Protein backbone atom coordinates (compact mmCIF):
# COMPACT_ATOMS: atom_id res chain seq x y z
CA UNK A 1 0.00 0.00 0.00
CA UNK A 2 2.84 2.40 0.90
CA UNK A 3 4.54 1.70 -2.42
CA UNK A 4 1.34 2.38 -4.29
CA UNK A 5 0.82 5.61 -2.33
CA UNK A 6 4.28 6.89 -3.20
CA UNK A 7 3.88 5.95 -6.87
CA UNK A 8 0.63 7.88 -7.08
CA UNK A 9 2.24 10.84 -5.32
CA UNK A 10 5.17 10.84 -7.76
CA UNK A 11 2.80 10.73 -10.74
CA UNK A 12 0.80 13.65 -9.34
CA UNK A 13 3.97 15.70 -8.79
CA UNK A 14 5.21 14.92 -12.30
CA UNK A 15 1.88 15.91 -13.82
CA UNK A 16 1.96 19.22 -11.96
CA UNK A 17 5.43 20.10 -13.19
CA UNK A 18 5.05 18.65 -16.67
CA UNK A 19 5.05 21.26 -19.38
CA UNK A 20 1.71 21.27 -21.13
CA UNK A 21 1.84 21.22 -24.89
CA UNK A 22 0.77 24.37 -26.69
CA UNK A 23 -2.20 23.81 -28.96
CA UNK A 24 -2.24 25.12 -32.53
CA UNK A 25 -5.69 24.96 -34.13
CA UNK A 26 -5.74 24.73 -37.92
CA UNK A 27 -9.00 25.01 -39.87
CA UNK A 28 -8.47 23.45 -43.29
CA UNK A 29 -10.33 23.06 -46.57
CA UNK A 30 -7.91 20.32 -47.68
CA UNK A 31 -10.67 17.72 -47.75
CA UNK A 32 -10.02 15.62 -50.86
CA UNK A 33 -8.53 12.29 -49.71
CA UNK A 34 -5.05 12.47 -51.27
CA UNK A 35 -4.03 16.00 -50.19
CA UNK A 36 -5.70 15.52 -46.80
CA UNK A 37 -3.50 12.50 -46.12
CA UNK A 38 -0.34 14.35 -47.18
CA UNK A 39 -1.22 17.38 -45.05
CA UNK A 40 -1.72 15.07 -42.06
CA UNK A 41 1.76 13.70 -42.69
CA UNK A 42 3.17 17.25 -42.66
CA UNK A 43 1.46 17.92 -39.34
CA UNK A 44 3.02 14.77 -37.90
CA UNK A 45 6.45 15.89 -39.16
CA UNK A 46 5.94 19.26 -37.47
CA UNK A 47 4.98 17.70 -34.13
CA UNK A 48 8.05 15.46 -34.26
CA UNK A 49 10.28 18.46 -34.88
CA UNK A 50 8.48 20.64 -32.34
CA UNK A 51 7.21 18.27 -29.61
CA UNK A 52 6.08 21.21 -27.48
CA UNK A 53 3.14 21.75 -29.86
CA UNK A 54 -0.05 19.81 -30.40
CA UNK A 55 -1.64 20.60 -33.77
CA UNK A 56 -5.40 20.12 -34.00
CA UNK A 57 -6.65 20.07 -37.60
CA UNK A 58 -10.34 20.68 -38.29
CA UNK A 59 -11.17 19.75 -41.88
CA UNK A 60 -14.23 21.08 -43.69
CA UNK A 61 -15.65 20.46 -47.18
CA UNK A 62 -14.29 23.09 -49.54
CA UNK A 63 -17.57 24.91 -50.17
CA UNK A 64 -18.57 24.89 -46.49
CA UNK A 65 -15.16 26.31 -45.60
CA UNK A 66 -15.65 29.29 -47.91
CA UNK A 67 -18.89 30.15 -46.12
CA UNK A 68 -17.57 29.59 -42.59
CA UNK A 69 -14.25 31.44 -42.88
CA UNK A 70 -15.77 34.90 -42.51
CA UNK A 71 -17.47 33.79 -39.27
CA UNK A 72 -14.25 32.35 -37.84
CA UNK A 73 -12.20 35.43 -38.62
CA UNK A 74 -14.70 37.61 -36.77
CA UNK A 75 -14.94 35.28 -33.79
CA UNK A 76 -13.20 35.48 -30.41
CA UNK A 77 -12.72 31.73 -30.85
CA UNK A 78 -10.83 32.12 -34.12
CA UNK A 79 -8.48 29.27 -35.12
CA UNK A 80 -4.73 29.91 -35.11
CA UNK A 81 -4.17 29.05 -38.78
CA UNK A 82 -6.49 28.82 -41.78
CA UNK A 83 -5.97 27.57 -45.31
CA UNK A 84 -6.94 30.03 -48.04
CA UNK A 85 -6.15 31.61 -51.41
CA UNK A 86 -3.67 34.31 -52.38
CA UNK A 87 -4.68 37.44 -54.25
CA UNK A 88 -7.87 39.43 -53.76
CA UNK A 89 -9.43 36.73 -51.58
CA UNK A 90 -6.65 37.26 -49.01
CA UNK A 91 -6.45 41.03 -49.47
CA UNK A 92 -10.15 41.43 -48.76
CA UNK A 93 -9.75 40.03 -45.24
CA UNK A 94 -6.46 41.85 -44.66
CA UNK A 95 -8.14 45.16 -45.55
CA UNK A 96 -10.73 44.48 -42.84
CA UNK A 97 -8.05 44.00 -40.18
CA UNK A 98 -8.92 40.32 -39.82
CA UNK A 99 -5.45 38.90 -40.52
CA UNK A 100 -2.11 38.93 -38.70
CA UNK A 101 0.98 40.11 -40.64
CA UNK A 102 3.56 37.32 -40.98
CA UNK A 103 6.61 39.19 -42.36
CA UNK A 104 8.66 38.24 -39.29
CA UNK A 105 8.51 34.48 -39.87
CA UNK A 106 11.05 34.85 -42.68
CA UNK A 107 13.65 36.66 -40.52
CA UNK A 108 16.60 36.93 -40.78
CA UNK A 109 15.82 36.27 -44.44
CA UNK A 110 12.93 37.79 -46.37
CA UNK A 111 9.96 36.63 -48.43
CA UNK A 112 11.93 36.59 -51.69
CA UNK A 113 14.47 34.12 -50.27
CA UNK A 114 11.69 31.56 -50.13
CA UNK A 115 9.32 32.45 -52.94
CA UNK A 116 9.41 34.03 -56.41
CA UNK A 117 9.35 37.82 -56.35
CA UNK A 118 6.26 37.69 -58.55
CA UNK A 119 4.35 36.02 -55.69
CA UNK A 120 4.74 39.01 -53.38
CA UNK A 121 1.90 41.02 -54.92
CA UNK A 122 -0.48 38.09 -54.38
CA UNK A 123 0.61 37.61 -50.76
CA UNK A 124 0.78 41.16 -49.41
CA UNK A 125 -1.53 44.01 -48.53
CA UNK A 126 -0.44 47.58 -47.81
CA UNK A 127 3.22 46.56 -47.80
CA UNK A 128 2.86 43.68 -45.30
CA UNK A 129 2.87 39.93 -45.94
CA UNK A 130 -0.31 38.18 -44.75
CA UNK A 131 -0.16 34.94 -46.72
CA UNK A 132 2.34 32.06 -46.76
CA UNK A 133 2.06 30.16 -50.06
CA UNK A 134 2.40 26.39 -50.03
CA UNK A 135 1.76 25.26 -53.58
CA UNK A 136 0.49 26.50 -56.90
CA UNK A 137 -0.82 24.85 -59.98
CA UNK A 138 -1.65 25.52 -63.56
CA UNK A 139 -4.92 25.17 -65.43
CA UNK A 140 -5.12 23.39 -68.73
CA UNK A 141 -7.46 21.40 -70.93
CA UNK A 142 -7.12 17.85 -69.60
CA UNK A 143 -7.83 14.80 -71.74
CA UNK A 144 -7.28 11.04 -71.89
CA UNK A 145 -4.36 10.24 -74.18
CA UNK A 146 -5.86 6.88 -75.12
CA UNK A 147 -9.15 8.49 -76.21
CA UNK A 148 -7.39 11.05 -78.39
CA UNK A 149 -5.25 8.29 -79.93
CA UNK A 150 -8.30 6.14 -80.60
CA UNK A 151 -9.91 8.87 -82.70
CA UNK A 152 -6.72 10.23 -84.24
CA UNK A 153 -7.00 13.54 -82.40
CA UNK A 154 -4.02 15.84 -81.94
CA UNK A 155 -4.15 18.38 -79.10
CA UNK A 156 -5.40 21.61 -80.73
CA UNK A 157 -3.46 24.87 -80.67
CA UNK A 158 -6.02 27.23 -82.19
CA UNK A 159 -9.72 27.86 -81.60
CA UNK A 160 -10.60 26.48 -85.04
CA UNK A 161 -8.70 23.27 -84.28
CA UNK A 162 -10.40 23.06 -80.87
CA UNK A 163 -13.85 23.27 -82.47
CA UNK A 164 -12.90 20.43 -84.85
CA UNK A 165 -11.79 18.27 -81.90
CA UNK A 166 -15.15 18.89 -80.22
CA UNK A 167 -16.98 17.93 -83.40
CA UNK A 168 -14.95 14.73 -83.79
CA UNK A 169 -15.67 13.67 -80.23
CA UNK A 170 -19.37 14.41 -80.52
CA UNK A 171 -19.63 12.49 -83.81
CA UNK A 172 -18.25 9.47 -81.95
CA UNK A 173 -20.79 9.66 -79.13
CA UNK A 174 -18.46 11.32 -76.61
CA UNK A 175 -19.37 14.51 -74.75
CA UNK A 176 -16.66 16.93 -75.94
CA UNK A 177 -16.32 18.94 -72.70
CA UNK A 178 -17.19 17.89 -69.17
CA UNK A 179 -17.78 20.46 -66.43
CA UNK A 180 -19.50 20.51 -63.05
CA UNK A 181 -21.02 23.88 -62.13
CA UNK A 182 -22.99 22.93 -59.01
CA UNK A 183 -20.64 25.16 -57.02
CA UNK A 184 -20.25 27.72 -59.83
CA UNK A 185 -16.47 28.28 -59.94
CA UNK A 186 -15.54 25.86 -62.78
CA UNK A 187 -17.56 28.11 -65.11
CA UNK A 188 -15.32 31.02 -64.09
CA UNK A 189 -12.36 29.16 -65.57
CA UNK A 190 -14.03 29.36 -68.97
CA UNK A 191 -14.74 33.07 -68.60
CA UNK A 192 -11.18 33.77 -67.51
CA UNK A 193 -9.52 31.90 -70.34
CA UNK A 194 -11.81 33.21 -73.03
CA UNK A 195 -11.31 36.78 -71.80
CA UNK A 196 -7.53 36.29 -71.57
CA UNK A 197 -7.43 34.93 -75.14
CA UNK A 198 -9.82 37.53 -76.59
CA UNK A 199 -8.82 40.69 -74.67
CA UNK A 200 -5.53 39.95 -72.89
CA UNK A 201 -4.29 40.17 -69.32
CA UNK A 202 -4.39 43.96 -68.79
CA UNK A 203 -8.03 44.11 -69.83
CA UNK A 204 -8.91 41.10 -67.70
CA UNK A 205 -7.29 42.51 -64.57
CA UNK A 206 -8.99 45.88 -65.05
CA UNK A 207 -12.31 44.08 -65.45
CA UNK A 208 -11.86 42.04 -62.28
CA UNK A 209 -10.76 45.23 -60.48
CA UNK A 210 -14.13 46.75 -61.34
CA UNK A 211 -12.73 49.31 -63.81
CA UNK A 212 -14.48 48.06 -66.96
CA UNK A 213 -18.27 47.74 -67.44
CA UNK A 214 -19.64 44.25 -68.02
CA UNK A 215 -21.71 45.76 -70.82
CA UNK A 216 -18.53 46.73 -72.70
CA UNK A 217 -18.65 45.24 -76.25
CA UNK A 218 -15.31 43.54 -75.60
CA UNK A 219 -16.86 41.59 -72.73
CA UNK A 220 -19.79 40.58 -74.89
CA UNK A 221 -17.35 39.33 -77.53
CA UNK A 222 -15.98 36.86 -74.97
CA UNK A 223 -19.42 35.32 -74.60
CA UNK A 224 -19.85 34.95 -78.35
CA UNK A 225 -17.04 32.38 -78.42
CA UNK A 226 -18.49 30.68 -75.35
CA UNK A 227 -21.94 30.69 -76.93
CA UNK A 228 -20.65 28.72 -79.90
CA UNK A 229 -19.68 25.86 -77.59
CA UNK A 230 -22.96 26.02 -75.66
CA UNK A 231 -25.23 26.11 -78.72
CA UNK A 232 -23.40 23.25 -80.41
CA UNK A 233 -24.01 21.08 -77.36
CA UNK A 234 -20.35 20.56 -76.57
CA UNK A 235 -20.73 20.79 -72.77
CA UNK A 236 -21.89 18.04 -70.43
CA UNK A 237 -25.66 18.00 -70.07
CA UNK A 238 -27.11 18.96 -66.68
CA UNK A 239 -23.68 20.23 -65.58
CA UNK A 240 -25.22 22.35 -62.82
CA UNK A 241 -26.15 19.11 -61.05
CA UNK A 242 -22.55 17.95 -60.75
CA UNK A 243 -19.64 18.92 -58.52
CA UNK A 244 -16.29 19.28 -60.27
CA UNK A 245 -15.27 15.83 -58.98
CA UNK A 246 -18.46 14.19 -60.27
CA UNK A 247 -17.92 15.82 -63.65
CA UNK A 248 -14.35 14.53 -63.71
CA UNK A 249 -15.68 10.97 -63.56
CA UNK A 250 -17.05 11.37 -67.09
CA UNK A 251 -13.51 12.09 -68.31
CA UNK A 252 -12.06 9.20 -66.30
CA UNK A 253 -14.60 6.77 -67.79
CA UNK A 254 -13.94 7.98 -71.34
CA UNK A 255 -17.48 9.34 -71.68
CA UNK A 256 -16.21 12.92 -72.04
CA UNK A 257 -13.22 14.08 -74.03
CA UNK A 258 -11.86 17.20 -72.27
CA UNK A 259 -12.02 19.14 -69.03
CA UNK A 260 -10.75 22.70 -68.47
CA UNK A 261 -9.54 22.38 -64.89
CA UNK A 262 -6.58 22.77 -62.56
CA UNK A 263 -3.83 20.22 -61.97
CA UNK A 264 -5.66 19.08 -58.85
CA UNK A 265 -7.79 16.86 -61.08
CA UNK A 266 -5.06 14.26 -60.60
CA UNK A 267 -5.86 14.21 -56.87
CA UNK A 268 -9.18 12.50 -57.59
CA UNK A 269 -8.17 10.42 -60.64
CA UNK A 270 -8.13 6.62 -60.25
CA UNK A 271 -4.63 5.14 -60.30
CA UNK A 272 -5.50 3.30 -63.52
CA UNK A 273 -6.19 6.62 -65.24
CA UNK A 274 -3.54 8.99 -63.86
CA UNK A 275 -0.82 8.08 -66.37
CA UNK A 276 -3.34 8.39 -69.20
CA UNK A 277 -4.16 12.00 -68.30
CA UNK A 278 -2.45 14.84 -70.11
CA UNK A 279 -3.24 18.49 -70.84
CA UNK A 280 -2.75 21.15 -73.46
CA UNK A 281 -2.69 24.94 -73.30
CA UNK A 282 -6.05 26.65 -73.79
CA UNK A 283 -6.25 27.32 -77.54
CA UNK A 284 -5.26 30.60 -79.17
CA UNK A 285 -8.19 32.72 -80.36
CA UNK A 286 -6.43 35.90 -81.49
CA UNK A 287 -2.76 35.45 -82.50
CA UNK A 288 -1.99 39.06 -81.64
CA UNK A 289 -2.99 38.50 -77.99
CA UNK A 290 -0.30 37.13 -75.68
CA UNK A 291 -0.49 33.70 -74.07
CA UNK A 292 -1.76 34.25 -70.55
CA UNK A 293 -2.46 31.51 -68.02
CA UNK A 294 -4.18 30.83 -64.70
CA UNK A 295 -1.91 29.98 -61.77
CA UNK A 296 -3.81 29.99 -58.45
CA UNK A 297 -1.67 29.99 -55.29
CA UNK A 298 -2.82 28.11 -52.18
CA UNK A 299 -1.48 28.56 -48.67
CA UNK A 300 -2.08 29.71 -45.10
CA UNK A 301 -3.01 32.77 -43.04
CA UNK A 302 -3.18 33.64 -39.34
CA UNK A 303 -6.41 35.25 -38.08
CA UNK A 304 -5.89 38.52 -36.20
CA UNK A 305 -7.95 37.03 -33.33
CA UNK A 306 -5.92 33.81 -33.10
CA UNK A 307 -5.10 32.78 -29.53
CA UNK A 308 -1.69 31.27 -30.28
CA UNK A 309 -0.13 33.58 -32.86
CA UNK A 310 3.44 32.69 -31.92
CA UNK A 311 2.77 28.97 -32.31
CA UNK A 312 0.98 29.68 -35.58
CA UNK A 313 4.05 31.53 -36.89
CA UNK A 314 6.31 28.61 -35.96
CA UNK A 315 3.97 26.34 -37.93
CA UNK A 316 3.93 28.62 -40.99
CA UNK A 317 7.71 29.01 -40.93
CA UNK A 318 7.88 25.20 -41.02
CA UNK A 319 5.40 25.10 -43.93
CA UNK A 320 7.58 27.55 -45.90
CA UNK A 321 10.72 25.39 -45.66
CA UNK A 322 12.06 23.82 -48.83
CA UNK A 323 12.00 20.22 -47.57
CA UNK A 324 8.41 20.50 -46.35
CA UNK A 325 7.14 22.08 -49.55
CA UNK A 326 9.03 19.53 -51.60
CA UNK A 327 7.37 16.68 -49.70
CA UNK A 328 3.87 18.07 -50.29
CA UNK A 329 4.49 18.86 -53.96
CA UNK A 330 6.13 15.55 -54.77
CA UNK A 331 3.38 13.51 -53.15
CA UNK A 332 0.68 15.35 -55.14
CA UNK A 333 2.52 16.22 -58.36
CA UNK A 334 2.07 19.95 -57.77
CA UNK A 335 4.44 22.87 -58.04
CA UNK A 336 5.87 23.96 -54.70
CA UNK A 337 5.65 27.66 -53.94
CA UNK A 338 9.20 27.57 -52.54
CA UNK A 339 11.35 28.57 -55.50
CA UNK A 340 14.16 26.20 -54.53
CA UNK A 341 12.07 23.06 -55.13
CA UNK A 342 12.36 21.31 -58.48
CA UNK A 343 9.21 20.05 -60.28
CA UNK A 344 8.03 16.75 -58.79
CA UNK A 345 7.66 14.82 -62.05
CA UNK A 346 7.38 15.17 -65.84
CA UNK A 347 3.78 16.29 -65.59
CA UNK A 348 4.68 19.09 -63.18
CA UNK A 349 7.69 20.01 -65.31
CA UNK A 350 5.41 20.36 -68.33
CA UNK A 351 3.07 22.61 -66.34
CA UNK A 352 5.95 24.76 -65.13
CA UNK A 353 7.32 25.05 -68.67
CA UNK A 354 3.94 26.23 -69.93
CA UNK A 355 3.78 28.91 -67.23
CA UNK A 356 7.35 30.06 -67.75
CA UNK A 357 6.71 30.38 -71.49
CA UNK A 358 3.53 32.40 -70.94
CA UNK A 359 3.31 36.17 -71.30
CA UNK A 360 1.74 36.66 -67.88
CA UNK A 361 -0.55 35.03 -65.33
CA UNK A 362 -3.79 35.66 -63.48
CA UNK A 363 -4.98 33.93 -60.30
CA UNK A 364 -8.62 33.01 -60.95
CA UNK A 365 -11.82 35.01 -61.32
CA UNK A 366 -12.99 34.50 -57.73
CA UNK A 367 -9.48 35.27 -56.44
CA UNK A 368 -8.88 38.35 -58.58
CA UNK A 369 -12.14 40.20 -58.00
CA UNK A 370 -14.17 41.34 -55.00
CA UNK A 371 -15.86 38.33 -53.28
CA UNK A 372 -19.35 39.80 -53.78
CA UNK A 373 -18.64 40.44 -57.45
CA UNK A 374 -17.24 36.95 -57.78
CA UNK A 375 -20.47 35.40 -56.52
CA UNK A 376 -22.60 37.56 -58.82
CA UNK A 377 -20.30 36.90 -61.77
CA UNK A 378 -20.15 33.15 -61.34
CA UNK A 379 -23.93 32.90 -60.95
CA UNK A 380 -24.21 34.86 -64.18
CA UNK A 381 -21.75 32.59 -65.99
CA UNK A 382 -23.66 29.44 -65.06
CA UNK A 383 -26.98 31.07 -65.95
CA UNK A 384 -25.50 31.92 -69.37
CA UNK A 385 -24.38 28.32 -69.92
CA UNK A 386 -27.95 27.16 -69.29
CA UNK A 387 -29.81 30.07 -70.92
CA UNK A 388 -27.46 31.68 -73.48
CA UNK A 389 -30.37 33.68 -74.90
CA UNK A 390 -30.37 35.76 -71.68
CA UNK A 391 -26.87 37.12 -72.32
CA UNK A 392 -27.80 40.81 -72.59
CA UNK A 393 -29.89 40.68 -69.42
CA UNK A 394 -27.13 38.80 -67.57
CA UNK A 395 -24.50 41.37 -68.54
CA UNK A 396 -26.79 44.24 -67.53
CA UNK A 397 -27.33 42.58 -64.14
CA UNK A 398 -23.58 42.13 -63.69
CA UNK A 399 -22.99 45.74 -64.59
CA UNK A 400 -25.46 46.89 -61.93
CA UNK A 401 -23.61 44.72 -59.42
CA UNK A 402 -20.25 46.13 -60.52
CA UNK A 403 -21.45 49.70 -60.00
CA UNK A 404 -22.96 48.86 -56.60
CA UNK A 405 -19.92 46.93 -55.33
CA UNK A 406 -17.11 49.06 -56.72
CA UNK A 407 -18.97 52.37 -56.66
CA UNK A 408 -17.98 53.15 -60.23
Pairing of strands 22-28, 53-59: parallel
Q: Are 376 and 363 in contact (CB under 8 A)?
A: no
Say whether 219 sits in a helix, a strand or coil.
Answer: helix
Q: Are 289 and 194 in contact (CB under 8 A)?
A: no
Topology alike, domains 18-136+296-351 and 139-294+370-406 = yes
Question: So what CATH class is 18-136+296-351?
Answer: alpha beta
Give residue 356's pLDDT.
86
Q: Are 131 and 300 in contact (CB under 8 A)?
A: yes
What ranges do the domains of the chain cover?
18-136+296-351, 139-294+370-406
How would you label 382-405 residue by residue, b for 16+ Cβ within 10 Å and e otherwise?
bbbbeebeebeebbebbbebbeeb
Identify the segments of the chain with pLDDT beneath 70: 1-19, 408
Question: So what CATH class is 139-294+370-406?
Answer: alpha beta
**251: CB partners within 8 A, 6+ apart:** 142, 143, 144, 178, 257, 258, 259, 265
How would you label 135-163 residue by residue, b for 16+ Cβ within 10 Å and e otherwise?
bbbbbbbbbbeebbeeeebebbeebeebb
Give residue 2's pLDDT.
54
**345: CB partners within 8 A, 6+ apart:** 330, 333
Measured distance CA(318)–CA(276) in Å, rounded: 35
Q: How far is CA 22 from CA 75, 314, 315, in A?
A: 20, 12, 12
Q: Whole-prediction pTM value?
A: 0.87
Measured distance CA(285)–CA(160) in Å, rounded: 8
Amino acid sequence: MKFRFWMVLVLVILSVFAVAKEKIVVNSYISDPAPRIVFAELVKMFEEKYPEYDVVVNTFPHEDFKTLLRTWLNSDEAPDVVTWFAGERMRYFASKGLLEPVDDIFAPKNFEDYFPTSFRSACEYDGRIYFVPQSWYWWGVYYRKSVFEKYGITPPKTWEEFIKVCETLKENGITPITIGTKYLWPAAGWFDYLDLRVNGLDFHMKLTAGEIPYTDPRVKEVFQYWKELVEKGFFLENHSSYTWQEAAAFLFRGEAGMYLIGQFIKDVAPESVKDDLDFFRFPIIKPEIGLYEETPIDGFMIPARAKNKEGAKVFLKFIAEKEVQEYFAKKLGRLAANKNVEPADEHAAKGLKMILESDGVAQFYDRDTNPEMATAGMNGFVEFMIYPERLDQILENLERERQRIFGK
